[in-house]
Amino acid sequence: MDPAAHLMTHFGPVSAEGLPVIVRGKGCELWDSEGNRYLDALSTLFCVNAGHGRAELADAAAAQMRRLGYGTTWDMVHPPALELAARVAALAPGDLDRVFFTSGGSEAVESALKLVRSFHQLRGEPRRTKVIARELSYHGTTAGALSATGLPSVRAPFEPLAPGGCHVPHTDAYRTPPGRDPLWAADAIEHRILFEDPGTVAAVILEPVQNSGGCLVPPDGYFQRVREICDRHGVLLISDDTICSWGRLGTWFGGQRFGYVPDIITTAKGITSAYAPMGAMIVSERVAAPFLEQDASFQHGLTFGGHPVAAAVALANIDLIEREGLLDRVLANEDLLRETLEGLRDIPLVGDVRGAGYFWGIEMVADRETKAPFPPAAAKEIVGVLDREIKRRGLICRAVDRGFPVIQLAPPLVAGPAEFEEIAGVLRAAMTEAAVIHAG
């Protein structure tokens, strides 16, 4: 049996047979076992923010392993977790200065959903258990996080889900009718809170830029309106920064890009640039207060939360981001990346180009004048052609069908003009091929 037959893939077949075997990486490039070279325009999975092959991150892991390979953050702690918690608290907005470490993003969201229930229980409001999220949103695959996730294809195989998930429209400015209040999607959150009964709603969870659906950017004032709505109804605001933090938008956290301060931040991926598994929940003093006042414990924990090796890598990663000025690099190159992708609008399939920082989506439509989507069979065909042609040309990005074909891009923060040009060249060839096949 092929050794790959033993490996079950994620969101895919129960066999890895036929898939590329990636063996080496440097900067924005990867190579497989056959010697084929790929340009990584997705930071592999929105996470290798500092780029591949960073020896300083490997060195930090090795040095920590020699000192202490494992330690908990349960009834004892260790220096890397203490130092990283203080570092993260200093970078986070507002009074979010208490940090609970996890192994990844789903666990960070799961932790936040459990924390908000405990918070409301301590305040004498145990009926507050519902969580409002957006349609098409992705918040993770663990039971609670999946109930908040708004992707039917991901939810349906595992229903019935944990109770409490409620969904509202997302911020698709491309399809918002002319003349409509640009903050209508924020007001829809208040409508849902009132519909559910505010006394039953625990939290609203939102990504700064929504990943699924193709990098849906909030309109100006959206998060300020949501903040007001949450405060008016005693609901906590969770910012799911699993993708949007650690420089992806040119800021440490998404709230800093869009001018809002949540009650809780969930983060992962880029905190270590994916050189070690780690996530975190960052909590405001307001949310921590009832636990401190009542000497109450948060009855939740993870074996590998705050792992010393992962914490050491995260510290080295933050040092690297600061030393190389990667946040400023993203902001300096953002307009060029946008312009490069906007240059693809002459291709008939391209309907919308949207995003922020180094996080972009390209939506394809059947008719650009009317913004008409493709019929389901045609959308599936186009995504299939795009996926095949993009990979054949050595580019790593994401082509998916979310009710419409969309390409997503999130290059490492070290990428620049040369990488942007190569990305656009591959996408032009692949989308032109898809347009020809569809027209035929």
pLDDT, tens only, 372-393: 999 999 999 999 999 999 999 9
CATH value at residue 22: 3.90.1150.10
Residue with the two structure tokens 């640039």: 273
Q: Are strands 22-26 and 29-32 parallel, antiparallel or unpaired?
A: antiparallel
330 lies in the same domain as 316: no
Report the 10 Å Cβ neighbour count for 322: 12
CA distance 171 to 175: 9
Give the number of C-alpha atoms closer than 13 A to the C-alpha of residue 325, restricted to the C-beta side. 5
Range of the domain at 304: 58-323
What confidence score (pLDDT) does residue 178 get?
Answer: 87
CA 288 to chain centre: 25
Helix (H, G, I), strand (E, B) or coil at 27: strand
203 lies in the same domain as 91: yes
Q: Which residues of 89-98 are buried (b: 16+ CB within 10 A; e: fewer)?
A: eebbbeebbb
248 lies in the same domain as 394: no
Which residue, 55, 26, 27, 56, is CA-closest to 319?
56
197 lies in the same domain as 341: no
Residue with the two structure tokens 């000192």: 67
Q: Which residues contact 339 (CB under 8 A, 6 or more apart)?
A: none
Query: Lowest-confidence range among 1-15, 30-44, 319-333?
Result: 1-15
Q: Quote helix, strand, coil % in the chain, to nearest 5.
A: 45, 20, 40
What confidence score (pLDDT) does residue 440 get?
Answer: 65
State the pTM of this model.
Answer: 0.97
- pLDDT tens-place string over residues 260-293: 999 999 999 999 999 999 999 999 999 999 999 9
Average pLDDT, the chain: 96
CA distance 260 to 253: 10
Between 162 and 412, residue with greater pLDDT:
412
337 lies in the same domain as 267: no
CATH value at residue 171: 3.40.640.10
CA distance 420 to 430: 15
362 lies in the same domain as 284: no
Q: CB–CB of 430/422 below 8 Å?
A: no
45 lies in the same domain as 99: no
Q: CB–CB of 419/338 below 8 Å?
A: no
CA 32 to chain centre: 26
CA distance 189 to 173: 16
Does 295 have pLDDT greater than 80?
A: yes
CA distance 163 to 206: 18
What confidence score (pLDDT) does residue 246 get?
Answer: 98
Q: CB–CB of 349/386 below 8 Å?
A: no
What confidence score (pLDDT) does residue 204 get?
Answer: 98
- pLDDT tens-place string over residues 125-152: 999 999 999 999 999 999 999 999 999 9
CA distance 69 to 412: 28
128 lies in the same domain as 102: yes
- pLDDT tens-place string over residues 66-76: 999 999 999 99
Helix (H, G, I), strand (E, B) or coil at 39: strand
CA 92 to chain centre: 17
What confidence score (pLDDT) does residue 12 get?
Answer: 86
- pLDDT tens-place string over residues 427-439: 999 999 998 877 7
What confidence score (pLDDT) does residue 51 get?
Answer: 98
369 backbone dihedrals φ, ψ, rounded to 5°: -70, -45
Amino acid identity at 162: A
Where is the domain boundary, 268, 296, 323?
A: 323
| 248: confidence class by pLDDT, cuts 50, 70, 90 | very high
- Give percent of the chain with pLDDT exceeding 70: 100
DSSP 123-172: TT-TT--EEEEETT----SSHHHHHH---HHHHGGGPSPPTTEEEE----
Q: Which residues contact 190 (CB under 8 A, 6 or more apart)?
A: 229, 232, 233
212 lies in the same domain as 161: yes
Where is the domain boundary, 306, 323, 340?
A: 323
Which residue, 107, 402, 138, 157, is CA-closest to 277?
107
Residue range 40-58: mean pLDDT, rounded: 98
310 lies in the same domain as 344: no
| 284 bridge partner residues | 96
Structure tokens at 366: 């059947």
Does 183 have pLDDT greater than 80?
A: yes
Structure tokens at 143: 């039971």
Q: CB–CB of 329/337 below 8 Å?
A: no
249 lies in the same domain as 275: yes
Does 1 have pLDDT greater than 80?
A: no
291 lies in the same domain as 360: no
What confidence score (pLDDT) does residue 134 get?
Answer: 98
CA distance 330 to 248: 8
What confidence score (pLDDT) does residue 3 get?
Answer: 82
CA distance 208 to 402: 19
Work out how many domains the chain is built from and give that number. 2
Where is the domain boundary, 294, 323, 352?
A: 323
Q: CB–CB of 252/244 below 8 Å?
A: no
